[in-house]
Amino acid sequence: MALTRLLLPNADVWLDEQFLPEPAAAALLTELTQTIAWRQESIMLFGKAVPQPRLTAWHGDAGTRYSYSGLVWEPEPWTPALQLLRTQVEAATQATFNSVLLNLYRAGPDSMGWHADDEPELGPAPVIASLSLGATRRFRLRPRRPLLTPHAPVSLDLTSGSLLLMRGATQQHWQHAVPKTSKSVGPRLNLTFRRIISA
């Protein structure tokens, strides 16, 4: 399949719902869930350490330090599976990536709050390629400044093997989130390939 552009103002967002065929996506979910050194980080919220409602890992080229929600990440090296995915994602997106943030949503209560991936390390127009494996979870997008970007919030159900690409001014004008769900859902693993410009 191919990436198809979403018609959103002040955004440059593309989706390929069938980037990886299901047997490959399912096999990768199992392999990565078992072999990645998952951590549950805490973020400081009003002076208190609050565990993030998901597990995370950060892999990349040496020197791609990244600060995220008050945490500073030193990357783990690329594993063969992650390196192969990087090559495939680069070919599909015509972009280059030097790091990947992995998020494991163990079940419905695991989530990610509203944010934009606009850390200075990512430069003025971050290119982020997001590969989803496992359970379908809802991905929401909303304008950061509704007067400047008049549009209702958007919901995408990201299925296993789908590839979402955000680039250009998307992070400047939109936020995104993966809300909790009360539905009974299995694990979902998401990989966001990124390019750290100022290491």
Using only C-alpha atoms, what is the Rg of the chain?
16
- DSSP code, position 197: S
Answer for the pair 158, 134: CB distance below 8 angstroms, yes or no. Answer: no
- Could you give the dihedral angle defined by the CA atoms of residues 25, 106, 100 and 197, in that order, rounded to the nearest 10 degrees? 140
Distance of CA 73 to the CA centre of its chain: 16
Q: Pick one of 11, 15, 85, 101: the residue that binds ligand AKG (CB under 6 A).
A: 101
Is 59 a binding residue for ligand AKG by CB under 6 A? The answer is no
User: Which of the listed partners (Fe ion, ligand AKG, none) does 130 bind, with a CB threshold of 5 to 8 Å by partner kind?
Assistant: ligand AKG
Tokens of 24: 């490959």
Is 176 a binding residue for ligand AKG by CB under 6 A? The answer is yes
Q: How buried is 127 (Cβ within 10 angstroms: 0-12 exposed, 13-18 middle, 19+ buried)?
A: buried
Nearer to ligand AKG by Cβ, of 115 and 145: the residue is: 115
Q: Least CB distance from residue 158 to ligand AKG, whole Å?
A: 6
Is 162 a binding residue for ligand AKG by CB under 6 A? The answer is no
Is 117 a binding residue for Fe ion by CB under 5 A? The answer is yes
Backbone φ and ψ for 57, nearest 5 degrees, come out as -155, 155
User: Which of the listed partners (Fe ion, ligand AKG, none) does 66 bind, with a CB threshold of 5 to 8 Å by partner kind?
Assistant: none
Nearer to ligand AKG by Cβ, of 55 and 178: the residue is: 178
Strands 4-5 and 12-16: antiparallel
User: Which of the listed partners (ligand AKG, Fe ion, none) does 171 bind, with a CB threshold of 5 to 8 Å by partner kind?
Assistant: none
Nearer to ligand AKG by Cβ, of 133 and 150: the residue is: 133
Distance CA 175, CA 18 (A): 24
Q: Pattern 122-151, binding to ligand AKG, x per CB under 6 A?
A: --------x-x------x------------
Answer for the pair 89, 161: CB distance below 8 angstroms, yes or no. Answer: no
Give the footprint of Fe ion on this chain (CB under 5 A). 117
Give the footprint of ligand AKG on this chain (CB under 6 A). 101, 103, 112, 117, 130, 132, 139, 158, 176, 178, 190, 192
